[in-house]
Amino acid sequence: MRKLTVAFLLFALLACWSLDARVSSAFPGWPFSSGSSDLQPGTPDWWKKYKKKAVFVPHHGYQVEGFDGYFDADGRSIAAPALKKIKQEKGSGGLLNDVSLNSAFADVKQRVGLGPDQVRARTAFDDGEKLFREEKYGEAAKRFQETISRWPDSQLEQDALFQLAECRFFAKEYPDAVDAYDQLLAKYPNSPHLDRTIVREFDIARFWEKHHAFAPHWPVTPNLIDDKRPLFDTLGRAIKIYENIRLNDPTGPLADDAVMATANSYFLRGRYGDADYHYQLLRNEYPRSEHQYEAHMLGLQCKLHIYQGPDYDGVPLEEAKAIIKQLRMQFAGQLDAEQRDRLAKLGGQITREQAARHMHMGSHFENTGYNRSAKYYYAQVVRENPDGEIAAAARARLEALAEAPDEPEPPLKSIIDMLPENAERNSIAQVPLINKGSDLQVPGLVPGVLRDSEVGVASRTEPVTDEDGPTYQR
């Protein structure tokens, strides 16, 4: 019986060894094979073992003695065949990306005699130019379209695209002309026809903008009669052309004119936020533009329109004040007496708006019990407007708050005082302060009001004030 058991075990071991050998030969990466997987070239374990023996051969890769081929820095075979080669066809896309419809269509055109032909393309182009000089723009456009189809991706196609757009322009088919010009610049952004293209597009945009000003329509009102205008949204298309001019030729002679025209269009329609963005773009990106003064003055008006009152953000007022300062510096020798007087009035208006906002903020903090913050804003009104009527009201409030506590009493303070205090916090409370808030005073005002240089010192132990209310820093 024992012999039979031993024989059976030996037979089982031989069978397992035979199965393991078969699996190892069929599946080199089999994890339970008796052969070591690191002997397979290109695997991470194999590279870990032979990396130190690898020798780099320029222009080929790493070579390991005893193994054929070259390997990359991760031990993978450079000559290994790819599982699948995926080639992106030029111009293909969408759900039918692998069907190669463009190639099939080109093959059909080639079979019926409509494929690329430089001789016929040149002949069609010459005929188109002749018809163009005869002012037969419709027939000329067909010949230029034939040139584009017969000899694509060439200088001849580039010239034909421009001539096609010119035919549409002189035929007063302005939407089609804009599409042709855009097609030219999209395919040939550095075209030698760039300057003339920009001029044509700018003229079309100005025409559409003036037409809308003369006979305005809703953007969704269709245009079914006039070939000179687009089907929908004449003014919107004009603004889009201005934007394309700036993007296609940002350093050209009409780039700043396009930005200024866009800003003025928004300004006249009361869209002061968009107008302010484009005026600022002109001031920053085109410092030598002839529209700099108008961009500053109209941008200043936009800032004043954007400001919505003391309950809202005061940044537009600060930016408006900066524009006035820039105007006085940049155009100091060009401003006449009337313009200086106008700037002075606008500066006074901004100062009054800021003072009213500071008074509103002070009143807000006073009503919430944060008297220290309220006194800060009231004192700021007195400093910036010492002789104004609003300064008298600010001084009155400062006097009324002279003896008022800096902060409101915490809720349930009486109950909190009854609770035992932590020993560590009690010991820290015994440390004397270097400067107490009550000792910080402004000469000439009332006790408890900080000077500008002392606001930062006090803010380390006192509430820091912002427009959303006081927050504490410890």
* 287, 302, 317 - which closes a domain: 302
Whole-angstrom distance, CA of residue 462 vs CA of residue 440: 12
Return the amino acid letter for 319.
E
The tokens for 37 are: 């997987």
Q: Does residue 420 share a domain with residue 388?
A: yes
SS3 414: helix
Q: Does residue 238 share a domain with residue 161?
A: yes
Q: What is the pLDDT along the chain (474 residues), one digit of tens a residue?
A: 554 555 566 666 655 555 554 444 444 444 444 444 446 887 888 888 888 888 888 777 888 888 888 888 888 887 654 444 455 555 545 545 544 666 665 666 666 656 688 899 999 999 999 999 999 999 999 999 999 999 999 999 999 999 999 999 999 999 999 999 999 999 999 999 999 999 999 999 999 999 999 999 999 999 999 999 999 999 999 999 999 999 999 999 999 999 999 999 999 999 999 999 999 999 999 999 999 999 999 999 999 999 999 999 999 999 999 999 999 999 988 888 898 999 999 999 999 999 999 999 999 998 988 989 999 999 999 898 888 788 888 898 888 888 888 888 777 767 776 777 777 777 777 777 665 554 444 444 444 444 444 444 344 444 444 444 444 344
Residue 94 zone, left/alpha/beta (φ > 0; ψ -120 to 50; rest): left
Q: How many C-alpha atoms does 440 have within 13 Å on its Cβ side?
A: 22
Q: Does residue 231 form part of some domain? A: yes
Q: Does residue 403 form part of some domain? A: yes
Q: Does residue 234 share a domain with residue 146?
A: yes
Q: Which residues pair with 56 in a beta bridge?
A: 62
Helical axes 292-306 vs 315-330, angle rounded to 10° = 160
Return the amino acid letter for 210.
K
Q: Does residue 181 form part of some domain? A: yes
The tokens for 93 are: 């896309």
Q: Does residue 285 share a domain with residue 167?
A: yes
SS3 56: strand
Is the CB of residue 51 less than 8 Å from the CB of residue 45? no
* 274, 302, 330 - which closes a domain: 302
Distances (CA, A) of 105 to 92, 112, 115, 118, 231: 12, 11, 10, 19, 31
CA angle 349, 350, 354 (to 5 degrees): 120
Report the 3 state secondary structure along 116-185.
CCHHHHHHHHHHHHHHHHCCCHHHHHHHHHHHHHHCCCCHHHHHHHHHHHHHHHHCCCHHHHHHHHHHHH
Q: Residue 267 class from Cβ within 10 Å (0-12 exposed, 13-18 middle, 19+ buried)?
A: buried
Residue 69 phi/psi, 5° resolution? 90, 180
Q: Does residue 235 share a domain with residue 337?
A: no
The CATH number assigned to the domain holding 209 equals 1.25.40.10
SS3 12: helix
Q: Does residue 21 form part of some domain? A: no
Q: Does residue 112 form part of some domain? A: no
Q: Residue 9 class from Cβ within 10 Å (0-12 exposed, 13-18 middle, 19+ buried)?
A: exposed
Is the CB of residue 320 less than 8 Å from the CB of residue 304? yes
Q: How many domains does the chain have?
A: 2
Distances (CA, A) of 43 to 66, 202, 311, 451: 16, 63, 68, 73
Residue 156 neighbours by CB distance under 10 Å: 18
Helical axes 272-285 vs 292-306, angle rounded to 10° = 150
The tokens for 147 are: 């040139």
CA angle 255, 244, 270 (to 5 degrees): 80
Range of the domain at 197: 121-302
DSSP single-letter state for residue 233 = -
* 302, 336, 356 - which closes a domain: 302
pTM for the structure as a whole: 0.66
Q: Does residue 169 share a domain with residue 127?
A: yes
Is the CB of residue 149 less than 8 Å from the CB of residue 165? no
Q: Parallel, antiparallel, or unpaired for β 61-63 and 469-471?
A: unpaired
